[in-house]
A and B are shown apart, each in its own frame.
Chain A
Amino acid sequence: MKAKRLSEASWKNYLFLLPAGIIYLSVIVVPVLYSFFISLFKWNGVGEMEFVKLDNYINLFSNDKVFITALKNNLLWVILTIVVTMTIALAFAVVLNKKFRGRTFFRGVFYFPCVIAPIAVAIIWRWIYNPNIGFINEFLELIGANFRQSWLSNPKVSIFAVFAASVWQSIGQPMILFLAGLQSVPVEVLEAARIDGASGPKKFLFVTVPLMKETFVIVIATLIISSMKVYDVVAGLTDGGPNNATQMLSTYMYSQTFQYSNVGTGTAVACVMVLMMLVVIVPYIIFTAKED
């Protein structure tokens, strides 16, 4: 009789969800919906709100060159992240999955920038890129290479300079996910492939990678999500400059809202970010829910 109480359906069960539910609704759900509402108005944050329907969105896509630049930069950032960050993280994970002395030390070295505040990372790299006495230019001079330049104020290279700092910081997370994925590949399967005569690279490509499908989905999804949101490292290094060369949706949203008081436009940018995220989120959630 008593054991039955375990599965009893009671309104009391829902009380356990209540605190999380209230906080989640008030911090995430209501504000996001409120944002969509504000994005339909022309508003400077203090005065009258003028209802303009979808004009803010139409303006962004048809007249706003900076927004289009930010959109392109952000997409470039997503692609760079998936190609460069993921490849390096996978390579590190494969090497550091081998058994050899000191691998814990090397894992630690590649992971530790992850724990530093992105804004501190930005400050450190701003110093490294300093055109006069920064490490990179000094080093190039030391080895006699003639590439000396101001990395952050040259619009052609600035986005890649900021991205390099971001790679340094963010390689650890996907590396650890890949390490966990590699460890979940059964040894017997790899052994069987070896006996069947599969060479190292072949074995990796046709046996290991397919078995790590789930890990790849998680890594790609989290990388896309985090690179769509990228803010701190850009804000701290270039704040979108020079001449919008590193402008991202997040930095543009921030400057429109809090510096130029175009609150309607700013929230519209934020809402575009959400809509773009949904393209990634929906398939990812379907995948995660299916796993159960």
Chain B
Amino acid sequence: MEEKKIKILKYMFLYVSLILISIIWIIPIITLIMTAVKSKQDFFSGISLFEFPENIEWSNFTNAFTKGRLLTYMKNDLIISALKVPLGILVEALAAFALTRLNIKHKTGIFIFFLIGMMLPMQTALVPINIIYSKLNLINTYFGLFYVYIGFGISFGILILRGFFKEIPKDIDEAAYIDGCNKLRLFWNIILPIAKPAVATLVISDFLATWNEYLLASVIINDNALKTVPAGIMTFVGEHGTDYGYLCAGVLISVIPVLVVYLIFQRYFVEGMSGAVKS
């Protein structure tokens, strides 16, 4: 009897503390939403953050699209991501395939060579890329941006895919060769489909990294019509004074696609990441 009581108390303590911490964790998003629907009058009348705004101001959202060109930024970001994610994974998978299933010298050495890039700060490549791009007229181009994104994603992609490919039994290769498969078809028709879970993880993490990237995007693109969301959102700051209602509406809209992707694929985040640890 006593023991049961202690157990119930323990669970209550667990839930109460988890709920309190969760509230702290969600507060930033709640204030973001509350501010995004706040009208200018409410700002000046000094209505507290803890009261619901008297009149909900939807114009903040329409302003973010019209004045803020948010739709353009989202379109650009989507194009860049749609180019970067599949091409990047293809390139990484080909390399990981060679490193795990083909007869190649210095496999470990090549793998380590590719791994180093994961740790290098983007800052180191910033100035040279800027110089080279200016010479080749690649500043302010989609190609220029997604090309460097692929470059900076290669290390992580090879790490994850190589870890997964390694676990696929070699017997499969033998059987495929006997059936008359060549290497390219073995890669495309057999190995890559088996590696779907790893590919799914990469698609999600790559999409998020690309959609959210700021530093390279702000250096390579300075034409407003070509900016991606993070760099575009920064133009909201200070452009018209700082109008927080409008700014928060912009941030809120920019966060929605990412939250949708996250909620749909939530399962893969945990599973995919644990795969990364085990490999």
Contacts and interface: CB of A to CB of B under 8 A. Distances in A.
A and B together in one complex: yes
B215 A277 contact: no
A45 to B, nearest CB: 8
A115 B46 CA distance: 32
Q: Which of B49, B132, B152, B229 has the most CB of A within 10 A?
A: B49
B258 A115 contact: yes
Contacts of A253: 123, 126
B103 A13 contact: yes
What DSSP secondary structure best describes chain B's contact surface? helix
Contacts of A263: 127
Given A112-B259, A285-B112, A128 B28 contact: yes
Nearest to B184: A16
Contacts of B233: 117, 119-120, 123
Contacts of A184: 274, 277-278
B254 interface: yes
Contact of B115 (A100, A258, A270, A285): A285
Contacts of A124: 28-29, 31-32, 248, 251
Interface stretch (A28-36, A77-85, A149-157, A203-211): A28-36
A214 B127 CA distance: 36
A107 B270 contact: yes
B212 to A, nearest CB: 4
Interface string A97-124: 0101010001111111101111110011
A26 to B, nearest CB: 7
Contacts of B125: 27-28, 31-32, 35
Q: Which of A113, A125, A180, A266 has the most CB of B within 10 A?
A: A180
Given A14-B98, A183-B274, A20 B219 contact: no
Contacts of B21: 110
Contacts of A285: 112, 115-116
B26 interface: yes
B260 to A, nearest CB: 10
A106 B11 CA distance: 15
A116 B31 contact: no
What DSSP secondary structure best describes chain A's contact surface? helix
Contacts, number: 257
B48 interface: yes
A134 to B, nearest CB: 8
Nearest to A14: B104
A35 B273 contact: no
Contacts of A292: 108
Contacts of A95: 14, 18
Given A38-B127, A120-B251, A9 B103 contact: yes
B110 interface: yes
A218 interface: yes
A31 B25 CA distance: 40
Contacts of A110: 21-22, 25
A117 B119 contact: no
B46 A133 contact: yes
Nearest to B114: A24
A236 B242 CA distance: 14
Interface in A1-36: 2-3, 5-10, 12-14, 16-17, 19-21, 23-24, 26-28, 30-32, 34-35
B277 A180 contact: yes
B127 to A, nearest CB: 5
A145 to B, nearest CB: 15
A163 interface: no
Q: Which of B105, B230, B269, B277 has the most CB of A within 10 A?
A: B277
A115 B261 contact: yes
A75 interface: no
Contact of A100 (B11, B25, B29, B118): B11
Which A-B residue pairs are the 4 nearest by beta carbons?
A: A27-B151, A180-B274, A117-B212, A16-B98
Interface of B: 11, 14-15, 18, 21-22, 25-29, 31-32, 35, 43, 46, 48-50, 90-92, 94-95, 97-99, 102-105, 108, 110-112, 114-129, 131-132, 147-148, 150-152, 154, 158, 173-174, 177-178, 180, 183, 187, 208, 211-212, 214-215, 219, 229-230, 233-234, 237, 244, 247-248, 251, 254-255, 258-259, 261-262, 266, 269-270, 273-274, 277-278
Given A215-B277, A263-B127, 8 more contacts: A20-B91, A27-B148, A32-B128, A113-B25, A138-B49, A142-B50, A177-B277, A254-B215
